[in-house]
Chains A and B, each alone.
Chain A
Amino acid sequence: MSYANAQSKNVIWDWLTTVDHKKIGILYLAGGAFFFALGGLEAILMRIQLMFPEFTFVQAQTFNELLTMHGTTMIFLAAMPLLFGFMNFVIPLQIGARDVAFPFLNALGFWLFLFGGLLLNVSWFATGAPDAGWTAYVPLSSMSPGQGLDYYVLGLQVSGLGTLIAGINFLVTIINMRAPGMSMMRMPLFTWSSFVASMLILFAFPALTIGLLLLMLERLFGATYFAVDFGGNVIIWQHLFWIFGHPEVYILILPAFGIFSEVLATFSKKRLFGYSAMVFATLIIGFLGFMVWAHHMFTVGMGPVANAIFAVATMAIAVPTGIKIFNWLLTLWGGRIQFTTANLFALGFIPSFVMGGVTGVMLATSAANYQFHDTYFVVAHFHYVIIGGVVFGLFSGAFYWWPKMFGYRLNEMLGKWFFWLFLIGFHLTFFVQHFLGLIGMPRRVASYLGGQGLDEMNFISTIGAFLMTIAFILLLVNIFTSTKNRENVADPWDGRTLEWTTPTPVPEYNFAQTPLVRELDPFWHEKYEGDGKMKAAEPLGDIHMPNGTILPIIMAAGLTVASFGFIYHIHPLTISGLAITFGAMFVRSVKEDHGHHIPVEEIKRDLGGGKNG
């Protein structure tokens, strides 16, 4: 790679200042993987505690902190950033763009996520982690002593800001930066579903921000939005939280659906069955995902009219989701199905997710929900959806795009061991939890009494959690031992979409010439009906790219410093933190930075370098 003329030679400085969407994608993956391991550790500690009745492995207070941080970490700091990692790396490549619309904001989004996540986890070493559940219902959260919940409101505000920025960036990128010929209805499903997820981010995250702001004012400055004694209302928080929280589930699952659509089509060697129905189903799911938030609140006393409306609206989501499931099955139908690890996760997803989906409809049955709500039945349901859907999607995407991202394939043998152990461990852990809930185990309990019929199934559940842990360790072993298989193949899976037309490693500018798109699955089309190469939409020429910058990380650090000031009521710290951030914003506004050009000679040299594998 010889395009680094404007880049520093120092590797660390290079990564700290990068605005390259591919590097930011990898940073998101690394950050997300770190928090995923952390959230997993919290999970296994909880499962050990619940292995035996009245076990005293951790204290009840610690358990509440673990369950809060497990949920918060997995949703905000693991699942979403890992998806952002793939979205960042893949979307510009799939639509034939050289970068995202706002590279600077892209870097800012990542650093805000990372600093917000670290801030949240500092609470473990300060006065104790937040302990009111990831939903932080008031008044438990507004009354919680210590600083744990202060870390929650500020950490999530900082990282949520990053998420909002990332969502807007993807929206603008997908709308504006598609290659010539890439109409909306020729976009790969992963790009489509990321687009819809980004729309959800745009509308959902402001609700969370407002909720967190109100809670912060309540905790730190004595406001009384939620304080009943002063005329406040505790239900406001629940509505604000779930107006964000329910779409959040779809923000996670839709990109995962996108990954499965790519993987299943590629490894059955067929185009996606019912492409346009898939697109519309995605849009409808996105829309309905917004309309049903109150199904989390059936027992809160909204009355039978609201409960009935939200119940029926929630059930309606099963229809577009069913359309997607059958379209995937028909994509496989008549294909030549290859059982790669990536595809095993996609195939394992179908039955696992359908099981999570049907319990979702059961939960939507409002009158029966009075029995399900806040029990282990719910815990089982959403883990079936989030692990069987989102996490399987992440693993599938990892094995699928790994060669493009890192230049080597993950070992298939280890990968298959990983898949089977994880699949079995997952079902062992969560299947029995449906029954635990129905026979009387509430969720978020630090322990349970013996002699209530809950012992055996809790024990089984914990064994399953151990299997998942072993599987995850196998994945880590795989990642580190497979590096020796470096082969830099451009198109290892006989891919269908534009990302597989780029050389590996992908050059800074992605495409020497912007490709001309003539069909859905353009690369497949050119390979099997054309001459095997993409037509170019422009002549070779100098390519304009943005410069790296250290400002994003400074802005994020400033907000983190200010957060500590807020948490500990140290006003000079708050003011200097905000000053750092606004100062960096000022510098960004007045300093002219026109980026740099990569000269055409260098691009020609890259093209002649035989990197097309």
Chain B
Amino acid sequence: MKYLWRLLPISFIILLSGCGVENLSALDPQGPVAEMQFSLIQLSLYIMIFVLVVVFAIYIFVIFKFRERPGDTHIPKQVHGNRTLEFIWTTIPILLLLMLAIPNVMDTFTLANVEVEQMEATEEGEEGIDYVRVQVTAHQFWWEFDYPDYEITAGQDMYIPTDTRIIIELLASDVQHSFWVPALAGKQDNVPGIQNDMWFEAPNEGVYMGKCTELCGPSHWLMDFKVIAVDPDTFDTWATNMAEPPSHVTEPQETVAADGRTVFEQSCISCHAVGAEGGNIGPDLTNFGEREVIAGYLEYDMDNLEAWLRDTQEYKPGNEMPSFNAEAINDEEMEALLDYLDSLKVLEE
């Protein structure tokens, strides 16, 4: 029986971890920040389950023991109170809360420690921490990822190297948003006019799902993004190619894709950049062909891409991208454009 009690909280956590999908669930932490937060969640959960068990036990005892039985008309003794009892149930909760408050304050300060200077080696012979800075700008309804130290910009998919501290600088271009990758770290808000900082690390390669958690308009629920953790070498390749894209991206050789490039230059380039050319009103498309999803959520295939281009408001109400009907881009041109967009890859040729 004793062992059963000891197993109870553990089995509860196993039960919890079973919930949800990997790479989205905060209960299945994949990095040190999410782990720190998960262990605080566990600690608070244990304390709270203890409180619940005590209260429920007294409660159940009381309502069974002192329920009115048929024919019972006695008048109970009118008790005023009890100083000792009241002292006990004031003191114990204070102690329980201190158990939670102290690690919480420590973690709060640890998580806020994002000073870049501290990452770098300050004295000779001292080893610094390997870090990559990413500036995350939230727009209605897409995400922009700038890497100021590499002078590159990416849209929707945020590539990061594994085992490296990622310093995130959060900005917003229109309304307030909130940046959340549950499996890697808790959220911080993107607030217009203010920069917020956070950090996390991803020890394992993988694709982590990110979401916006602040109501940001009619397509708030589609404000998804991906954090793609790759090994540091791949990341370097990616970063180099994003800065200076391979020739097939800038000057496509195949005829169809070359025609697509022409269509792109007519219709898309004022808002979307490929390589160093193009506007930044919409997401950067340099590595579009490597996306997992279109518009943040549609499965990546050519049918969905065409449907999206033809009627953007249908799939993401309130976004700023115009729709391109058959008059704007005819079927032949569309096919070429799709082919071109699909060819935009920087990691593989």
A interface residues with partner B (beta carbon < 8 Å):
59-61, 64, 131-133, 137-140, 143, 228, 232-235, 268-271, 273-277, 299-301, 303-304, 307-308, 311-312, 315-316, 318-319, 322-323, 325-327, 329-330, 332-339, 347, 350-351, 354-355, 358-359, 361-362, 365-375, 435, 438-440, 442-449, 451-454, 528
Q: Does B109 contact A (CB under 8 A)?
A: yes
User: B26, B109, B178, B318: which has the most chain A beta carbons within 10 Å?
Assistant: B26
Q: Does B250 contact A (CB under 8 A)?
A: no
Shortest beta-carbon distance, B99 to chain A, in Å? Answer: 11
Q: Which of A369, A443, A452 makes the CB contact (< 8 A) with B186? A: A369
Known contacts A367-B40, A369-B186, A373-B213; A438/B19 CB under 8 A: yes
Are B104 and A366 interface neighbours, CB within 8 A?
Answer: yes
Q: List 26 A-B contacts (CB under 8 A).
A: A131-B218, A137-B215, A143-B175, A235-B191, A268-B66, A276-B81, A300-B189, A307-B108, A318-B93, A325-B55, A329-B59, A337-B66, A359-B48, A361-B47, A362-B41, A362-B48, A367-B104, A368-B37, A371-B37, A435-B20, A439-B24, A439-B27, A448-B221, A451-B21, A452-B209, A453-B20
CA distance A374 to B211 in the complex (A): 11
Q: Does B182 contact A (CB under 8 A)?
A: yes
Q: How many residues does chain B have at the interface if contact means C-beta atoms less than 8 Å apart?
A: 89
Q: Which of B199-248 contact A (CB under 8 A)?
A: 209, 211-221, 224
CA distance A308 to B102 in the complex (A): 10
Nearest A residue to B192, CB-CB:
A228
Are B100 and A315 interface neighbours, CB within 8 A?
Answer: yes
CA distance A374 to B215 in the complex (A): 9
CA distance A62 to B81 in the complex (A): 53
Known contacts A370-B188, A373-B187, A528-B75; A337/B67 CB under 8 A: yes
Known contacts A304-B112, A334-B79, A447-B221; A362/B44 CB under 8 A: yes
Residues of A contacting B2 in the complex (Cβ-Cβ under 8 angstroms): none
Are A439 and B78 interface neighbours, CB within 8 A?
Answer: no
Known contacts A300-B191, A323-B86, A453-B24; A355/B104 CB under 8 A: no
Are B74 and A59 interface neighbours, CB within 8 A?
Answer: no
Q: Which of B8-53 contact A (CB under 8 A)?
A: 16, 19-21, 24-27, 34, 36-38, 40-41, 44-45, 47-48, 51-52
Residues of A contacting B187 in the complex (Cβ-Cβ under 8 angstroms): 299, 370-371, 373-374
Shortest beta-carbon distance, B273 to chain A, in Å? Answer: 24
Q: Does B4 contact A (CB under 8 A)?
A: no
Residues of A contacting B108 in the complex (Cβ-Cβ under 8 angstroms): 304, 307-308, 311, 366-367
Shortest beta-carbon distance, A452 to chain B, in Å? Answer: 6
Q: Does B68 contact A (CB under 8 A)?
A: yes
Known contacts A311-B108, A358-B52; A442/B213 CB under 8 A: yes
4 cross-chain pairs, A with B, having the tightest CB-CB distances, nearest first: A370-B186, A439-B20, A228-B193, A445-B221
Shortest beta-carbon distance, A66 to chain B, in Å? Answer: 12
Q: Does B292 contact A (CB under 8 A)?
A: no
Are A318 and B112 interface neighbours, CB within 8 A?
Answer: no
CA distance A322 to B50 in the complex (A): 13
Nearest A residue to B176, CB-CB:
A137
Nearest B residue to A142, CB-CB:
B175
Q: Which of B41, B211, B297 makes the CB contact (< 8 A) with A371? A: B41
Known contacts A137-B176, A319-B94, A368-B40; A438/B66 CB under 8 A: no
A-contact 0/1 string along B148-179, CB 8 Å cutoff: 00000000000000000000001000111010
Q: Does B196 contact A (CB under 8 A)?
A: yes
Count contacts between A and B, CB distance < 8 Å: 282
Residues of A contacting B209 in the complex (Cβ-Cβ under 8 angstroms): 440, 452
Are A439 and B62 interface neighbours, CB within 8 A?
Answer: no
Known contacts A270-B76, A277-B86, A304-B109; A370/B221 CB under 8 A: no
A-contact 0/1 string along B309-340, CB 8 Å cutoff: 00000000110000000000000000000000
Q: Which of B19, B41, B109, B194 makes the CB contact (< 8 A) with A368? A: B41
CA distance A435 to B13 in the complex (A): 12
CA distance A334 to B74 in the complex (A): 11
Q: Which of B89, B105, B175, B220 makes the CB contact (< 8 A) with A323? A: B89
Nearest B residue to A442, CB-CB:
B213
User: A137, A275, A303, A316: which has the most chain B beta carbons within 10 Å?
Assistant: A137
Are B193 and A233 interface neighbours, CB within 8 A?
Answer: yes
Shortest beta-carbon distance, B185 to chain A, in Å? Answer: 7
CA distance A139 to B228 in the complex (A): 31
Other contacts beyond A275-B81, A362-B45, A369-B186: 10, CB < 8 A: A234-B191, A234-B193, A234-B194, A235-B191, A308-B109, A333-B62, A370-B37, A371-B38, A442-B213, A446-B221
Residues of B contacting A454 in the complex (Cβ-Cβ under 8 angstroms): 20
Q: Which of A270, A319, A351 makes the CB contact (< 8 A) with B79? A: A270
Q: Does B58 contact A (CB under 8 A)?
A: yes
CA distance A505 to B95 in the complex (A): 51
CA distance A298 to B104 in the complex (A): 13
